[in-house]
DNA sequence: ACTTGACTTGGACCTAACTCCAAGGTGTAA
DNA sequence: TTACACCTTGGAGTTAGGTCCAAGTCAAGT
């Protein structure tokens, strides 16, 4: 799979895909004899994983560390698990914060709705007075 | 209230508070005769609001716009409401993404837990073989 | 009056995560 | 074989959101 195909498939720019590779987030992408990237299923899997994790806000550094551990084989299983648990905890806190803010916006929007009723009434009243 | 008191109260550095003011996010903070900031209840209210919104990831630009609308008075109530509705929608999507990623991490962590059982068994087996 | 600690400003600097560009190589259809 | 779209690299530039610093002012205690 070429870089532009992957780019379209995941809606990630080719520049970003090259950047990911450069920083060690996407190691060992195969090349065609002429040097062009040729993504295989394993690469696609990583990209899909990275897209999901980045979409939730995990820092690239953390993902690089995870990839690095993965490449070191079975001896890092425990470390990888700990890393994921730690990130999950951070995401749980983020979820809480986002939910709390949504609740607050719900309330504020509701107040605006109800504040507009007397506001519109006032406008109507003024219209009547003018007539 | 002095800047350091506000800083402690909300766990926001004084530099950040000044930065917020500079970019127009916290307009019209009163000063003492000697020119030092003296935050009042209204300021405190805004800071608390900003902290909550920033904590959920709303961009500063959007908050600046909201503050600006607010200062223009009642005629912007509808616009403010629309702005909040739009941001709420974005937060809902973020919530979805974070939740989906937590679920995925739950699954991966679970796999690691179960992958480690045979891994440890293997270790134990080796131990027995060695003895 | 002097010290100490908090406050002021303007502006430079920093980090994360891209994003863009120039200069050049490749591949395929007419 | 020429045109054209697509690929390559290294490196510079961008954006958001702070963060830090120097040089100076101010306030409270001794």
- A75-86 confidence digits (pLDDT tens): 999 999 999 999
**In this model, does residue B109 exceed pLDDT 90?**
yes
Among A126, A98, A2, CA closest to B74: A126
Q: Please name the residue ranges forming H helices in B1-131.
A: 3-10, 14-22, 41-55, 60-71, 77-130
Strand D at less than 7 A from CB of A4: yes
Residues from chain B that touch A104, judged by Cβ atoms under 8 A, are 52
At B38-65, the pLDDT tens digits run 999 999 999 999 999 999 999 999 999 9
Question: Strand C: which nucleotides have any atom within 7 A of a protein Cβ?
Answer: 6-9, 16-21, 25-27
B65 burial class (0-12, 13-18, 19+ CB within 10 angstroms)?
middle
- What pLDDT is stored for residue B118 in this prediction? 66
Mutate to test the interface with A, among B58, B93, B97, B98 (most CBs of A within 10 A): B98
Query: Residue for token digits 């950047």?
Result: A19
Which tokens go with B128? 């027995």
- What pLDDT is stored for residue B131 in this prediction? 35
CA A49 → C1' D6, Å? 27
Say which DSSP state A88 is in.
H
Q: Region B6-10: what's the mean pLDDT? A: 96
Query: Residue for token digits 């131990």?
Result: B127
CA A15 → C1' C22, Å? 15
**In this model, does residue A90 exceed pLDDT 80?**
yes
Strand D at less than 7 A from CB of A73: no
The answer to whether B78 touches A110, Cβ cutoff 8 Å, is: no
B24 burial class (0-12, 13-18, 19+ CB within 10 angstroms)?
middle
At A48-74, the pLDDT tens digits run 999 999 999 999 999 999 999 999 999
Neighbours of A32 (CB within 10 A): 9
Beta bridge partners of A126: none
Strand C at less than 7 A from CB of B13: no
The answer to whether A1 touches A38, Cβ cutoff 8 Å, is: yes
The answer to whether B78 touches A115, Cβ cutoff 8 Å, is: no
- What pLDDT is stored for residue B120 in this prediction? 61
Query: In chain A, at which residue ranges do the beta strands (DSSP E only) sit?
Result: none
CA distance B66 to B45: 14
At A97-129, the pLDDT tens digits run 999 999 999 999 999 998 777 656 555 554 443
- What pLDDT is stored for residue A55 in this prediction? 98
Query: Residue for token digits 């060695």?
Result: B130
Chain A residue closest in CA terms to B92: A102
End-to-end C-alpha distance for chain A, whole angstroms:
72
In this structure, is the dihedral angle defined by the CA atoms of residues A23, A25, A27 and A33, taken in order, positive or negative? negative
| 3-class secondary-structure state, position B37 | strand
At B10-45, the pLDDT tens digits run 999 999 999 999 999 998 899 999 999 999 999 999
Beta bridge partners of A31: A37
- What pLDDT is stored for residue A127 in this prediction? 42
Tell me how close the Cα of B92 comes to any Cα of chain A, in angstroms: 7
Residues from chain A that touch B91, judged by Cβ atoms under 8 A, are 98, 101-102, 105
Which residues lie below 8 Å from residue B103, measured CB to CB, with a gap of 6+?
A: none
Contact across the interface for A88 and B81, Cβ inside 8 Å: no
**In this model, does residue A2 exceed pLDDT 70?**
yes
How far, CA to CA in Å, does B129 sit from each of A56, A124, B123, B124, B125? Answer: 46, 91, 10, 9, 6
Smallest Cβ–Cβ distance between B55 and the set A52, A101, A115 belongs to: A101
Tell me how close the Cα of B36 comes to any Cα of chain A, in angstroms: 32
CA distance A46 to A26: 7
């Amino acid at each position: 799979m070429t870089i532009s195909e992957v780019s379209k498939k995941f809606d990630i720019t080719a520049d970003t895909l090259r950047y990911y590779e450069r920083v060690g987030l996407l190691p060992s992408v195969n090349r065609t004899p002429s040097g062009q990237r040729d993504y295989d299923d394993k690469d696609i899997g990583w990209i899909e994983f990275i897209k999901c994790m980045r979409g939730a806000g995990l820092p690239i550094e953390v993902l690089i560390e995870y990839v690095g551990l993965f490449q070191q084989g079975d001896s890092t299983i425990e470390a990888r698990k700990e890393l994921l648990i730690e990130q999950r905890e951070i995401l749980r806190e983020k979820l809480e914060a986002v939910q709390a803010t949504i609740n607050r916006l719900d309330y504020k929007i509701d107040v605006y709705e109800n504040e507009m009723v007397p506001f519109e009434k006032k406008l109507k009243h003024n219209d009547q007075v003018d007539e």
